[in-house]
Structure formats: structure tokens, C-alpha cells
Structure 1
């Protein structure tokens, strides 16, 4: 288990905390591996009945750690990020998100695979893939428009619009909004309620609601191929260089 991922199980609820506040909870490949392992262990456990994902301090996650991501080997068997996306998108048991601050990149797209998404008033939601010379991932190019509508999805994915928690709730991206100070207690109570529900009925209901599994997997694979291609592109190299040099990227 990565030191930047913490797990706690209480009353049949497992809470995974992305715990790298010094880097705004940016996720490395090692962390993705730990998150995938935790989800798989949860799915296979008869004792754990609900799974909560949240972030440490005042960030949910800033998304991928770009330096770590650009140096990682994305070939061969499923890399850690792909294992995590596969685990969260296919998990048969309920997954809950407690978005305690900015949710950027995968911080937003992973929510599309969570069954219940609760957010603090201060939370924001951004998917800056095009800005980073990348493409959407986690089947967000399909699922986001299904959630918020094509026009809003394009505003988010193409124009880089950031949603407030209130806007995300109004568009149907998240379930409820709570005051920052209340989020933890409210989600803990809701997760405890979910964990006390009939487990087989819960799994069957989730399978009925999420009946696009094959389409999601196919879209995710198509996105991943293009995403990896962009990681090797001159556009992405220019974005990384510009960030290091603290300047705007220049695309010829």
C-alpha cells in the first residue's frame, strides 16, 4: 500500500483517502495501483459493504501527477491507472465519493463511476485535458454528456469550464452538496446506511442501473489509446516544458 493512500474500515464501511496534500493529492502510478488493489479487496470482501473515496486536507485530487505520468511505462500488461479505472468502473458493490475540494481531471472523471457523489460547498470540478494536450479518459467522453448533457459536457471537456458544487448538483453530476464542515459526518452516516442495506439487492440494483458495461469498457479502451499517443506527442512535451518554465504553451 502506498503511503499516500490510507484505508480505514469501520461499521463495514471502508474509506480510502488520497493523502498527498503537499502535492494537492495528485495521483502517481504507485497510488493508482494501491487504489486498484483496495477496490478489488473491497469487492471480494463479505464484510465490507460500502466504499468511500475522499481526499486529505482541502483537495479531493489535482488529478494525475504529470511528471510521474509522463515517465511511466504505459505499455504491456494493464498499467496501474488502467487497473484503477477498470476496478472502479466494474465494481459490483457501491462506491461513494466525498468530494471535499477541487476535483481535477481524474478527480472528476472517476466520479462518473461512483454510485453516490457528495460534495462540499467549496468543491469545484474541472477536466483540463485539452489544455494539457491530452484527451478525456475513464469513458468521460461518453458518460459526462450522458450525465450533464452534450452542451455542458463540451463546455467542460473542450472549453475547460470549471463547475462549482452548486452547478455540478444542478446539472446532475453530484448527488448532494453539504457545508464543508458537515461533509465528513454526512457521508459517514449515508455510507453506514448503504452498508446496512441488503447486500445482494444492492449489487443487483447497481447492475441494473449500470447496464452499459461493454460500451463503457470499449470507450475507455479507445480513449486510452489516444491518451497514450498524446503523452508521446510534441504537444504534450510543449505543455510540460511550459509548466516547468512558467509560461504559456506555444503550439505551432
Structure 2
């Protein structure tokens, strides 16, 4: 049975069997997250010990479009520094959560949404889901997972292909690359994830946590890269490339970036 445990404007928390489901709830912007949404999710992940697993998914046919780009077209250092910091805190909370975290990818996982999949322990995708990075296309860079840890997951050349070319990939291709564990028909996604989560009920929470923490070796090794990359992004706030990329995205047109210096 499913029952809401907490609801905000932008995030819905539900108890489903023995799992905590975290549902991003800003479908009008494809569930792009802001600092407030990240804070709600971080708190929920820190308090998830009463559950046997955690699921992150989206509402309205989208998984997550990453960080909200509305701020990038008229950027302030304070706001964007907060968004960058909140994104990293969210990904760290997923990795340090004592329970397995599963991404139920029900639509587009773009930009930071794709990095959200990278951060999760397991991922199940609906057949209609798509995956890809957006950084250089929108005047940013995917420094919190895609330029480092994703290379461990799917191979360096494939990770650079995603990060540099900003292509979109169907779910079956994401499965072939190793970005997700399973692809199922759209209408079977939530039941398939619930079935996966029920498998955790037969396992020791104590030793699942030990196994998960031990598996974080590559994430922990890349942690300095995250911080350095975010520091460089902060220094680029307000650049012509950032503003043009964000405005083009919001206006749904091809960006016209200035010539390389």
C-alpha cells in the first residue's frame, strides 16, 4: 500500500511497502530541482533508516531535468552558488544514505537528472525514458558525476561522449552502456521497482549498509573533483556562454555561443 508521509509544493514523500518513495513534483519544468527541493530530499535521505530502501522518481511523465535553469539567464552568485552546493549535498546524501537508493526513471533524465541516476545505487528505466547530459549545450558543465564517476560506471570514452556531445539516448541504449540495471514497459515501472525493493526485505540492513559504504570508493575518490569543478562553475557565473545557453534553452532555440577566446 502507498500512503503519503509528507508533501511540499515540489516534493512528495510516500511510504510504499517497506520503501520511502521520493517523488519530484515540478512537472511544469520537467522536475528540475532548486535548492529548496534538494533540502527536502536531503533531509528525507538522512532520516530513511526506518525504511529498507529508498526510491527516487518524478511526476508528470518526467524524471528530472537537473538544476533549474531559470536562474542561469539572470544569474546571481549567491543563488547559483546555493544551487550548486545543494546539488552536491543531494548527491552526497544519496551516497551516504544507509539504505539502497533506486532511481525509477519514468521519463527524461537530463543534465543533473542524468547525474542523479549516476549517484543512485541502482536504476530501473521505463522504456520511454531518455538519458543525456546538457552542460555545454546550456552554458554549464556536468562536474558532479558525469565528468568523473560516470566514467567508472560506463567507461571513460562513453562518459565523455555523453558529457561533451550532449546527445540524448533511449533507455535501451542506456542499458547497453551500463547506466541503468533494467528497462521495463512504462506501465510496469513502479511495480517492477516495488518488486526490486521487496528483495531488500530479505537481506540484512546492517550488511547492506556496509556493502554500500564500501562500494563508494570511486565516488569518494572523485569528491575533490566535484568541489574543484563547482568552484570553477562559480567563477564562470554571469559569463556570456552561461547567459546565452540558458536563454536559448528557455526560448527553445539553438544557442549562438560567442567565438572561443
TM-score of the superposed pair, with normalisation by structure 1: 0.90
- Look up the match of 1:242: 248
Counterpart of 1:19 (choices 10, 15, 25) is 25
The alignment yields a C-alpha RMSD, in angstroms, of: 2.1
**5+ long unaligned stretches in structure 2:** 1-6
Checking the alignment, whether the CA contact within 8 Å between 1:50 and 1:194 is kept in structure 2 is yes
Matched residue of 2:180: which SS? coil
**1:102 aligned partner:** 108
In structure 2, C-alpha distance between the alignment counterparts of 1:216 and 1:179, rounded to whole Å: 34
Alpha-carbon offset, residue 177 of structure 1 = 0.5
Q: Deviations over 1:151-198 (max 9, x none)?
A: 211211101121111111111110000000000111011112214421
| 1:67 has 2:73 as partner | no
Aligned-partner Cα distance in 2 for 1:113–1:207? 13
The C-alpha deviation readout for 1:59-89, integer Å capped at 9, x for no partner, is: 101222111464552458x843232122123
Matched, 1:163 2:175: no
Aligned counterparts, 1:1-252, within 5 A: 2-42=8-48, 45=49, 47-68=50-71, 70-71=75-76, 73-75=79-81, 79-244=85-250, 247-250=253-256, 251-252=258-259
Name structure 1 gaps, 5 residues minimum: none
Moved more, 83-92 or 157-166: 83-92
TM-score, normalization by structure 2: 0.87
Work out the CA distance in 1 between the residues paired with 2:98 and 2:222: 15
Secondary structure of 1:219's match?
A: helix
> Does the 8 Å contact 2:128/2:171 carry over to 1?
yes
- Please say if residues 109 and 137 of structure 1, whose CA atoms lie closer than 8 Å, have aligned partners that are also in contact: no
What CA distance in whole angstroms lies between the structure 2 residues aligned with 1:173 and 1:103? Answer: 11
Farther off after superposition, 94-103 or 62-71? 62-71
1:223: Cα distance to partner? 1.7
Q: Secondary structure at the match of 1:39?
A: helix
Q: Distance in 2 between matches of 1:249 and 1:233?
A: 14
Aligned with 2:222: secondary structure? helix
Q: How many residues align?
A: 249
Contact kept? 2:144, 2:229, Cα under 8 Å: yes
Pair 1:244–1:167, CA change in 2 (3 A):
closer
Q: Secondary structure at the match of 2:21?
A: strand
Q: Secondary structure, in 3 states, of the residue corresponding to 2:224?
A: helix
Which is further off, 120-129 or 83-92?
83-92
Aligned-partner SS, 1:27: coil
Residue range with higher mean Cα deviation, 11-20 or 60-69: 60-69
